[in-house]
Amino acid sequence: MNFYQSKIWRYINEKIYKKPVFELELFWKKYWWIEKKHKKCGIYFSWFQLLWVKFPSNFDEETVEELKKVKSIFAKWNNIFFQFGFINQLDEPFFENRKKIEKILFKKYALYPSIRENMPLATIEINLTKPEKDLYKDFSKTAKRYVNKCKKIWLIFTKASESDIGNFYKIWADVAKFKWFHIYDYRTYKDLLDFLDETDKWGLYIIKDKDNNIYAWNIFIIDQCIWVYLYWAVNRKYAKFGANYYLKWEWFNYFKKIWVKKVDLLWISPSWYKNHHLKWVTQAKKSLWWTIIEYWWNYDLPLNIWYKILRLMK
């Protein structure tokens, strides 16, 4: 599923996150993209982002001309670069093939490996058509231990209530502050949940106890019988219970009942990048059965000299 080019993700970016969204014809297809701006010394500098693009299978001159067309449209003095997120999949051996792709894209198309990670280098897809009796068997030893631990203290799996939604945001903000990552303000977060609730395209699922203390949660977006794992967190106060493992166990069983066929966990570190910043997230996501997909990833098309300066600074 092309989630980053889906109608629902475009709507969320344009109407909920308030990002400027535009269309571009590239490689003989129409895509939507966003503009990002940064103010420096009273001047606005822009860069552009188009994610989930299938790069043509043939490295030919027509493809060169397509990229030249993009550069001719956007190459202004205060536009720094145009970023593409390519969804072509790497074959094994991943590290060697990635280096090979990097050389071709740079030499033939003047595309640089991106200075900003805005698309996953890799993802995990979980096939929920697998028989239910095999679900638990394929958990890691760690996951099984925590699932059993949570069962013993009678934790509850449920879709979040209105009060849970407010309580959860406080926990999320606390985790974000501790882990040094960005989250949206409460109004944007609530607008997102209201929209997804109205369109029946989402789920904020939580694990809590009988006193309504939230242990773990995640937000999914559903599209075409596939659930995309968008945001998640664990309450640090109850981290020792490993409720995130129990949450996965419960929603796998729930999703099977409502005929969800596949779950995309969206962001993990690739196998060839040992010290990637998502290493700890990846370890948790790999605690279940899984299929890893590794992408070509993000590449930048420089629009002027500012890009080389920015790259040196980074």
Residue 284 confidence class, pLDDT cut points 50, 70, 90: low
55 closest CA partner among 20, 90, 3: 90
Contact indicator for 226, 261 with CB cutoff of 8 Å: yes
- The amino acid at 102: E
Rounded Cα distance between 142 and 284, Å, is 9
Shared-domain flag, residues 56 and 111: yes
Q: What is the distance of C-alpha 247 from the center of its chain?
A: 19
Across the range 302-310, mean pLDDT stands at 89
Shared-domain flag, residues 87 and 188: no
Q: How confident is the prediction for the chain on average, in pLDDT?
A: 85
Cα separations in angstroms, 46 against 20, 62, 69, 139, 311: 12, 27, 18, 45, 15
Cα separations in angstroms, 119 against 87, 93, 114, 251, 258: 9, 21, 10, 25, 29
Q: How many percent of the chain have pLDDT more than 70?
A: 95
Contact indicator for 105, 300 with CB cutoff of 8 Å: no
Q: Kindly report, residue by residue over 138-172, the tens digit of the pLDDT.
A: 778 888 888 888 888 888 888 888 888 888 888 88
134 closest CA partner among 40, 52, 252: 252
Has residue 210 been placed in a domain? yes
The answer to whether the bond into 93 is cis (omega within 30° of 0) is yes
Shared-domain flag, residues 144 and 246: yes
Across the range 269-288, mean pLDDT stands at 73
Quote the pLDDT of residue 268.
Answer: 80
Has residue 274 been placed in a domain? no
Has residue 163 been placed in a domain? yes
- Report the number of distinct structural domains present in the chain: 2
The tokens describing 189, both together, are: 């977060």
Contact indicator for 74, 307 with CB cutoff of 8 Å: no
Quote the pLDDT of residue 287.
Answer: 66
Rounded Cα distance between 54 and 137, Å, is 36
Rounded Cα distance between 219 and 164, Å, is 13
Has residue 202 been placed in a domain? yes
Q: What does the CA dihedral 55, 57, 63, 64 come to, rounded to 10 degrees?
A: 90
Across the range 223-234, mean pLDDT stands at 75
Shared-domain flag, residues 174 and 206: yes
CATH number of the domain within which 198 lies: 3.40.630.30
194 closest CA partner among 185, 184, 204: 204
The tokens describing 155, both together, are: 């934790």
Cα separations in angstroms, 310 against 41, 61, 110, 116: 15, 29, 16, 11
Across the range 77-89, mean pLDDT stands at 94
Q: What is the DSSP string of 25-58?
A: EETTEEEEEEEEEEEETTEEEEEEEEEEE---SS
Quote the pLDDT of residue 1.
Answer: 55
Which structural domain, as residue segments, surrounds residue 91?
Answer: 3-120+294-313
Across the range 258-277, mean pLDDT stands at 78
Q: Which residues contact 124 (CB under 8 A, 6 or more apart)?
A: 264, 265, 268, 285, 286, 290, 291, 292, 293
Shared-domain flag, residues 140 and 253: yes
Quote the pLDDT of residue 230.
Answer: 78
Shared-domain flag, residues 140 and 205: yes
Has residue 79 been placed in a domain? yes
- pTM of the predicted model over 0.85: no
Quote the pLDDT of residue 30.
Answer: 94
CATH number of the domain within which 110 lies: 3.40.630
Shared-domain flag, residues 74 and 112: yes
Rounded Cα distance between 250 and 258, Å, is 13
Has residue 285 been placed in a domain? no
